[in-house]
Structure 1
């Protein structure tokens, strides 16, 4: 019987683990050298590092931190560490000096141990990130100091307020902004459509498939609207000339343009909903109990103020327990409030 150490799969795993380690170390050393040179060449311009590599909603919600950091540290070079997939969220931001791609989680772990930035802020909460090979957690000492953790972060504050405290800014308010490149985008249905997003990275935030199907059918029958579904997986299986599924068919940048061009947004608490808030799209958002929180507010700006979004809460359970009738009534009220149907030229 051959030794386990000779098995191909084991050696392949060891090679991937070693490659992962070296990739993180090389990226870390490269970043440190770059920062040191920046400080030598322009000592009057402090380098401010921000680490928030994921996820979509968190990054969008935290955007007001950027102008706040520039105001606190005049003439600073604000540098943001982000996963490659999410770069389109901040690539065009005028307040950032540079975006740094997070090579892997070890890279971020090393940065939190030591880095040459004048100021460095890790915005990740504890107990959320652990590298896949060495199982080293990403620790945020500032979060421990402020007693902000995954069990209480929504008790009193929204996402921006939590992130701003971790960035040494105290409690700030503001409306998030997304800056897109100036390029031609051809929207579906010539730009006259409602946009829906159904799937979250946490299933307890979702509404039932059957209710979504019923909503789409009745909205088309009642108002003759065009409806586009966005997301990464598990699209509705619905065939109708006024329904278009773009699930799994768009990049992050294309998804942002898709949200920006929508007339109305219907969704759950998810990353695309934070994008709709940033673009100030009239919306209906379904919410309910989540993790340790009976009721919470994740948004800042327009959706928090209730100007554009109708937030419907399930008072005694997760969002999936919202009845169809409750949601349908709220949509009807929202349409009347925002005069949405008059903006759709093909409405009968």
Structure 2
């Protein structure tokens, strides 16, 4: 039985792999032809690519790169190369002429080899490969400054590092999010209570997370102590508290809708993840829970306000993962931000 289970897993992997590779080449051909057609329409206008296709927090943090590139190329046609699930983050940027969806890093390698772009600002560190494809993406600019996955958080915040990987000066600007009116109207239609405390409890990596029991304890205390409603955002809810002032929107919002909910918050409490970058980019006041991440002990991913310590309390029990952050620290940070309870 175990033998057949292994065989099925092996052949499933092979099917997914070769289906992906064939699809990548078809996608590459069609996208190259689309870009050739675009270039023919642009005439002498240069075609410029900004490349940072993932992750959510990285893209939000590096938004100022679009503004910097527009200043350098005021007459260019500028595209941000991005994965489909993150396209919404760059779709409405006023300094971009559009975005370009990549299927995988290997497809990007093939497109760059054609020389279709007149100028490329690639923020990716070398060797972030597709799990199915043999191509190994290289960024010579990042390699030249010795920026690797082993040291990148030792070099500064995400914007500071990745702007240099793209061959730009080390940028320190405030990140912004561009939320269109249609998104604001969709959030308004949810009829959320005013001035909520918005929480985000789970990231894409367990090393960034705070314990479920601590989150539930905190939410119960918040609801028992303060008049503010509590809203949970993210992909999957972990809060079990049943209370008329608690609402979970997990799995119900787009990226920009999540950002709009955070923008409207009285206080955001979260871990180091994409929504924390949304809070920084939308002007929210925050309490952020950090901890050791791999070998990175003292790191700060945020530029702008949060790097300067404005409107944010950053909790980090240095040398310990976020899971070991004392509950009392978080509660004390809330008391300092919200003041003494209005009622008990």
Indicate the residue corresponding to 1:200 in structure 2.
203
Contact residue 52 and residue 123 of structure 1 kept, 8 A = yes
Deviates more, 1:224-233 or 1:252-261: 252-261
Q: What SS does the aligned partner of 1:320 have?
A: helix
Q: Distance in 1 between matches of 2:334 and 2:147?
A: 35
Task: Give the deviation of 1:16 after TM superposition.
Answer: 4.6
Q: Distance in 2 between matches of 1:291 and 1:14?
A: 31
Q: What SS does the aligned partner of 2:268 have?
A: strand
Q: What SS does the aligned partner of 1:285 have?
A: strand
Indicate the residue corresponding to 2:298 in structure 1.
295
Indicate the residue corresponding to 1:330 in structure 2.
333
Q: Distance in 2 between matches of 1:156 and 1:143?
A: 12
Indicate the residue corresponding to 1:116 in structure 2.
116
Indicate the residue corresponding to 1:217 in structure 2.
220
Contact residue 202 and residue 209 of structure 2 kept, 8 A = yes
Indicate the residue corresponding to 1:226 in structure 2.
229
Q: Distance in 2 between matches of 1:286 and 1:235?
A: 17
Root-mean-square deviation (CA, aligned residues, Å) is 2.5
Q: What is the total number of aligned residue pairs between the two structures?
A: 335
CA offsets, 1:180-230, max 9 Å, x none?
Answer: 221212245333311000111111111111211111111111112210111
Indicate the residue corresponding to 2:154 in structure 1.
155
Q: What SS does the aligned partner of 1:180 have?
A: coil
Q: Distance in 1 between matches of 2:290 and 2:8?
A: 48
Q: What SS does the aligned partner of 2:24 have?
A: helix
Q: Distance in 1 between matches of 2:228 and 2:11?
A: 56
Indicate the residue corresponding to 1:141 in structure 2.
140
Seen in structure 2, the aligned counterparts of structure 1 residues 264 and 41 have a Cα distance that, compared at 3 Å, is: same
Seen in structure 2, the aligned counterparts of structure 1 residues 13 and 267 have a Cα distance that, compared at 3 Å, is: closer
Indicate the residue corresponding to 2:177 in structure 1.
178
Seen in structure 2, the aligned counterparts of structure 1 residues 11 and 200 have a Cα distance that, compared at 3 Å, is: closer
Q: Distance in 2 between matches of 1:11 and 1:315?
A: 45
Q: Distance in 1 between matches of 2:323 and 2:101?
A: 36
Indicate the residue corresponding to 1:189 in structure 2.
192
Seen in structure 2, the aligned counterparts of structure 1 residues 34 and 192 have a Cα distance that, compared at 3 Å, is: same
CA offsets, 1:94-114, max 9 Å, x none?
Answer: 111111111233312313434
Q: Distance in 1 between matches of 2:11 and 2:171?
A: 50
Q: What SS does the aligned partner of 2:78 have?
A: strand
Seen in structure 2, the aligned counterparts of structure 1 residues 287 and 8 have a Cα distance that, compared at 3 Å, is: closer
Indicate the residue corresponding to 2:22 in structure 1.
22
Seen in structure 2, the aligned counterparts of structure 1 residues 239 and 135 have a Cα distance that, compared at 3 Å, is: farther
Q: Distance in 2 between matches of 1:168 and 1:38?
A: 25
TM-score, length-normalised on structure 2?
Answer: 0.89
Q: Distance in 2 between matches of 1:23 and 1:65?
A: 31
Indicate the residue corresponding to 1:48 in structure 2.
48
Task: Give the deviation of 1:252 after TM superposition.
Answer: 2.1
Q: Distance in 1 between matches of 2:36 and 2:252?
A: 41
Task: Give the deviation of 1:8 after TM superposition.
Answer: 9.4
Is 1:243 equivalent to 2:246 in the alignment? Answer: yes
Is 1:267 equivalent to 2:270 in the alignment? Answer: yes
Indicate the residue corresponding to 1:69 in structure 2.
69
TM-score, length-normalised on structure 1?
Answer: 0.88
Seen in structure 2, the aligned counterparts of structure 1 residues 15 and 151 have a Cα distance that, compared at 3 Å, is: closer
Q: Distance in 2 between matches of 1:57 and 1:174?
A: 15
Give 1:306-317 correspondences, 5 Å limit.
306-317=309-320
Contact residue 189 and residue 226 of structure 1 kept, 8 A = no
CA offsets, 1:277-312, max 9 Å, x none?
Answer: 100100000112112211111001111111111111
Seen in structure 2, the aligned counterparts of structure 1 residues 17 and 213 have a Cα distance that, compared at 3 Å, is: closer
Structure 1 residue runs of 4+, over 6 Å off? 7-13
